């Protein structure tokens, strides 16, 4: 059924995002090319998608060739579509764009020509030509990162390159002998640098899931997911905000960007929240919280699960299963926060007329759930590879589209979507390639191993201090940087310290870092998800950022829970896993009550302090603290229920 609330115009949102200097390639689009260039870019994107499908499914090729072509394809599209500066040509590539494209293509041709000799001398005894072409490639990748993600990642990459050469001037543990420009730059253009694990994950796994997301988007699934969520949660107290939980989780798991999730989901949900009584700041904060959390939801986890599986050398399905309980607690906490805030503010849900008819939307668009189900079955039941599962999901979506004549995807629609999907991978490719520069320097200089010593030294052997340091570094790296890059860099530097020096379970250490890389999108001064939501809501960015942190408070605590209680990542007995779920759910409820000042009624400051104590006790592993926390929560609930009952009796007697 139609609703009176219309989403804000996407073009208006894009203008606000640009004014706030938020660039996200899935949202704001880049150049509006004249027809000849637009056709050329479409053909390149189409060829890129077919190339990846052929190599991954039909005929594998050498990793050097595959990963290099992956970066070159992405770079050509990026330099053609994304202007390098404000006044660059908007209708066609500028002359400097062609130079950068040549700086990618020429090194590719060079190493393919001298490949048999190249692989034995790269990074060890390079020739002058090796250095020349490698430097071209590294500079082009650096510019890709700057255009795709802004200055933070580019500056960080430049700092690491300088460190690789001038490390002999650094003090203490940061010292290394220093490498010549020739050895270092050619090392970066290798399977240990730019073409290392991050690009491997991007080429082998992430790309096909970006394609899958493009096919889902082309079918109008974003609107369907929102309508589906409104049917499930729209009538509840604070219903539109709870709708955001479901739709953000569904959309966000396949999105590599919190900002993209905010814009796709928020243009529908934020106006609905405001129309039902939510203040603009709160509506934007709720959307930012839910959209950032979408990346921690299995099975896709914003592409992070693939990279994590590669680094840990464990089955992809095992990573997904380990992430289930933390994701459940994150969104359970989001539900409590929204519900208790809505109760305290006296907010309602949507009326019957404002909620779509469930049977109608399922009859019209329900087929869009089929590829998601097939994807889950292939990944979690049949245990197929991630890229093969994604391809089966794409095929299923194309076939399912024929159920509805309106959304039927013919050859032309499939070709267009393949091209769009390739263009949607540009940011991920640029991010992973730039992360490879940092990974290469860490490997060549040994700084990655030294970081374990640095963290251990400054934490003085305290696991809690080490975790706090790790949290701060992951959040700082994630500010203004895509989640994939922040996680890849942090995992290379920080995870080994937690694992080797403090005996943290590897999957728990990596999920800990990944969570804070996601949550960095909420934390000012550079809170991209919060700022994007603020643009849609028409509110000031910083207040939205701080409200986002308040609503997502449990999200900042949950990673500590699964470090100290590994049963949360399925390491433990059945009883331990069940108990951690129950106490975690109750703990997040108590924390939400303390944060929102409401349980069954308004809480006093003293009562909020008691609720906070109950939350900490329930969240901390151990049966003694669980009993204490449960006792405090039951006592507070009973007191409020009795007080409320007396007030109702007095009111009825009056």
Query: Of 519, 481, 477, which is closest to residue 494 (Cα–Cα)?
Result: 477
Q: Is the pLDDT of residue 38 over 80?
A: yes
DSSP string computed for 262-286: HHHHHHHHHHHHHHTT--HHHHHHH
Q: Is the pLDDT of residue 611 over 80?
A: yes
Tell me which residue has tokens 């539900």. 335
Question: Reduced to 3 states, what is the DSSP secondary structure of residue 548?
Answer: helix
The CA distances from residue 309 to 56, 301, 306, 411, in Å, are 18, 12, 5, 34
Q: For residue 24, name the pLDDT band (cuts at 50, 70, 90).
A: very low
* Domain end among 341, 369, 404: 404
* Domain end among 378, 404, 430: 404
Q: Is the pLDDT of residue 302 over 80?
A: no
Query: Of 131, 508, 85, which is closest to residue 319 (Cα–Cα)?
Result: 508
Do the beta carbons of residue 289 and residue 549 sit within 8 Å? no
Cα 288 from Cα 524, distance rounded (Å): 12
Tell me which residue has tokens 């130079």. 99
**Region of residue 524 (phi > 0: left; psi between -120 and 50: alpha; otherwise: beta):** beta
User: Packing angle between helix 411-424 and helix 35-53, nearest 10 degrees?
Assistant: 90
Q: For residue 530, name the pLDDT band (cuts at 50, 70, 90).
A: confident
| Exposed / middle / buried, residue 95 (Cβ in 10 Å: 0-12, 13-18, 19+) | exposed
What's the pLDDT tens digit per position in 374-402?
A: 877 887 677 777 778 888 888 888 888 88
Asked, for residue 1, whether it belongs to a domain, the answer is no
Question: Reduced to 3 states, what is the DSSP secondary structure of residue 477?
Answer: helix
Tokens of 66: 């595959």
Asked, for residue 390, whether it belongs to a domain, the answer is yes
Residues 6+ apart with CB under 8 A from 125: none
**Weakest mean pLDDT among 150-154, 249-253, 638-642:** 249-253
φ, ψ dihedrals at 187, nearest 5°: -65, -35
Residue, of 320 and 240, whose pLDDT is higher: 320
- Average pLDDT of the segment spanning 304-330: 84
User: What percentage of the chain reaches a pLDDT higher than 90?
Assistant: 19
Q: For residue 74, name the pLDDT band (cuts at 50, 70, 90).
A: very high
Cα 649 from Cα 654, distance rounded (Å): 9
- Average pLDDT of the segment spanning 248-261: 65
Q: For residue 257, name the pLDDT band (cuts at 50, 70, 90).
A: low
Asked, for residue 352, whether it belongs to a domain, the answer is yes
Quickly count: other Cβ atoms within 10 Å of residue 150's Cβ. 18
- Containing domain of residue 319, as a range? 216-404
Tokens of 552: 């997502």
Do the beta carbons of residue 401 and residue 409 sit within 8 Å? yes
Q: Is the pLDDT of residue 502 over 90?
A: no
Cα 145 from Cα 492, distance rounded (Å): 19
Domains in the chain, number: 2
Inter-residue long-range contacts of 632-636, CB under 8 Å, 24+ positions, other chains counted: 632/590, 633/586, 633/589, 633/590, 635/610, 636/593, 636/599, 636/607, 636/610, 636/611
Q: What is the mean pLDDT of the chain?
A: 82
Question: Reduced to 3 states, what is the DSSP secondary structure of residue 349?
Answer: coil
- Average pLDDT of the segment spanning 34-53: 91
Asked, for residue 256, whether it belongs to a domain, the answer is yes
Do the beta carbons of residue 473 and residue 494 sit within 8 Å? yes
Question: Reduced to 3 states, what is the DSSP secondary structure of residue 602?
Answer: strand
Give pLDDT, residue 2.
41
Compute the radius of gyration of the chain from its Cα atoms: 25
Q: Quote the Cα angle for 318-323-328, to 5°.
A: 140
Cα 305 from Cα 375, distance rounded (Å): 15
Q: Quote the Cα angle for 263-264-270, to 5°.
A: 65
Quickly count: other Cβ atoms within 10 Å of residue 11's Cβ. 8
Asked, for residue 396, whether it belongs to a domain, the answer is yes
The CA distances from residue 364 to 233, 324, 358, 361, in Å, are 20, 30, 10, 5
User: Packing angle between helix 386-401 and helix 369-376, nearest 10 degrees?
Assistant: 160
Positive/negative CA dihedral, 86, 20, 420, 9: negative
Q: Is the pLDDT of residue 27 over 60?
A: no
* Domain end among 404, 433, 450: 404
Asked, for residue 381, whether it belongs to a domain, the answer is yes
What's the pLDDT tens digit per position in 588-608?
A: 889 888 888 888 888 888 888
Positive/negative CA dihedral, 472, 433, 495, 324: positive
Q: For residue 49, name the pLDDT band (cuts at 50, 70, 90).
A: very high
Q: For residue 31, name the pLDDT band (cuts at 50, 70, 90).
A: confident
Asked, for residue 279, whether it belongs to a domain, the answer is yes
Do the beta carbons of residue 467 and residue 455 sit within 8 Å? no
Cα 131 from Cα 434, distance rounded (Å): 18
Give pLDDT, residue 454.
74
Residue, of 457 and 55, whose pLDDT is higher: 55
DSSP letter, residue 504: -
Cα 163 from Cα 65, distance rounded (Å): 29
Do the beta carbons of residue 222 and residue 246 sit within 8 Å? no
**Region of residue 462 (phi > 0: left; psi between -120 and 50: alpha; otherwise: beta):** beta
Q: For residue 3, name the pLDDT band (cuts at 50, 70, 90).
A: very low
- Average pLDDT of the segment spanning 289-311: 77
Asked, for residue 476, whether it belongs to a domain, the answer is no
Q: Quote the Cα angle for 35-40-42, to 5°.
A: 95
């Amino acid at each position: 059924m139609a609703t009176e609330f219309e989403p804000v115009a996407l073009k208006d949102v894009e203008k606000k995002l640009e004014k706030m200097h938020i660039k996200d390639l899935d949202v704001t689009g880049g150049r509006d090319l004249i027809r000849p260039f637009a056709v050329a870019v479409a053909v390149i994107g189409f060829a890129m998608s077919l190339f990846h499908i052929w190599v991954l499914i039909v005929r594998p090729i050498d990793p050097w060739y595959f990963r290099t072509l992956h970066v070159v394809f992405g770079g050509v599209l990026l330099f053609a579509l994304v202007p390098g500066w404000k006044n660059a040509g908007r209708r066609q590539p500028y002359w400097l764009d062609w130079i950068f494209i040549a700086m990618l293509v020429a090194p590719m041709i060079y190493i393919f020509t001298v490949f048999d000799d190249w692989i034995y001398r790269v990074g060890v005894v390079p020739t002058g030509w090796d250095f020349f072409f490698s430097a071209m490639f590294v500079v082009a990748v650096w510019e890709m990162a700057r255009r795709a993600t802004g200055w933070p990642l580019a500056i960080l990459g430049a700092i690491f390159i300088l460190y690789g050469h001038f490390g002999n001037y650094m003090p203490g543990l940061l010292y290394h002998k220093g490498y010549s420009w020739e050895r270092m730059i050619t090392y970066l253009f290798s399977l240990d640098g730019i073409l290392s694990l991050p690009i491997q994950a991007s080429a082998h796994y992430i790309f096909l899931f970006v394609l899958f997301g493009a096919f889902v988007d082309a079918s109008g699934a974003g609107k369907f997911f929102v309508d589906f969520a409104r049917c499930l949660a729209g009538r509840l107290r604070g219903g539109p905000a709870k709708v955001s939980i479901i739709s953000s989780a569904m959309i966000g798991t396949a999105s590599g960007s919190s900002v993209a999730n905010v814009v796709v989901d928020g243009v529908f949900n934020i106006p609905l929240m405001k129309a039902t009584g939510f203040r603009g700041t709160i509506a934007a904060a709720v959307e930012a919280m839910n959209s950032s959390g979408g990346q921690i939801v299995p099975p896709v986890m914003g592409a992070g699960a693939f990279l994590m599986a590669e680094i840990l050398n464990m089955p992809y399905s095992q990573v997904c299963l380990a992430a289930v309980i933390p994701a459940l607690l994150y969104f359970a906490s989001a539900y409590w926060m929204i519900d208790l805030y809505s109760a305290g503010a006296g907010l309602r849900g949507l009326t019957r007329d404002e909620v779509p008819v469930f049977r109608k939307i399922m009859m019209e668009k329900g087929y869009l759930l089929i590829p998601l189900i097939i994807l889950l079955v292939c990944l979690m039941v049949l245990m197929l590879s991630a890229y093969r599962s994604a391809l089966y999901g794409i095929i299923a979506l194309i076939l399912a589209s024929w159920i509805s004549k309106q959304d039927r995807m013919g050859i032309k629609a499939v070709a267009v979507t393949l091209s769009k999907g390739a263009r949607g991978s540009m940011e991920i490719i640029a991010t992973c390639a730039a992360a490879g520069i940092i990974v290469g320097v860490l490997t060549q200089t040994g700084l990655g191993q030294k970081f374990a010593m640095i963290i251990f030294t400054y934490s003085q052997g305290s696991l809690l201090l080490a975790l706090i340091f790790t949290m701060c570094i992951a959040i700082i790296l994630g500010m203004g940087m895509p989640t994939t890059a922040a996680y890849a860099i942090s995992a290379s530097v920080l995870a080994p310290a937690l694992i080797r020096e403090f005996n943290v379970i590897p999957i728990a250490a990596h999920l800990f870092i990944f969570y804070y890389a996601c949550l960095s999108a909420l934390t000012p001064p550079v809170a991209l998800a919060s700022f994007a939501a603020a643009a849609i809501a028409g509110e000031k960015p910083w207040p939205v950022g701080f409200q986002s942190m308040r609503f997502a408070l449990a999200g900042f605590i949950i990673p500590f829970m699964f470090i100290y209680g590994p049963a949360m990542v399925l390491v433990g007995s059945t009883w331990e896993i069940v108990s951690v779920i129950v106490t975690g759910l109750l703990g997040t409820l108590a924390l939400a009550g303390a944060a929102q000042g409401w349980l069954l009624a308004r809480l006093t400051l003293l009562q909020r302090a008691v609720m906070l104590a109950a939350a900490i006790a329930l969240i901390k592993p151990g049966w003694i603290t669980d009993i204490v926390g449960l006792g405090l929560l039951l006592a507070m609930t009973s007191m409020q229920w009795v007080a409320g009952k007396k007030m109702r009796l007095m009111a009825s007697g009056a």
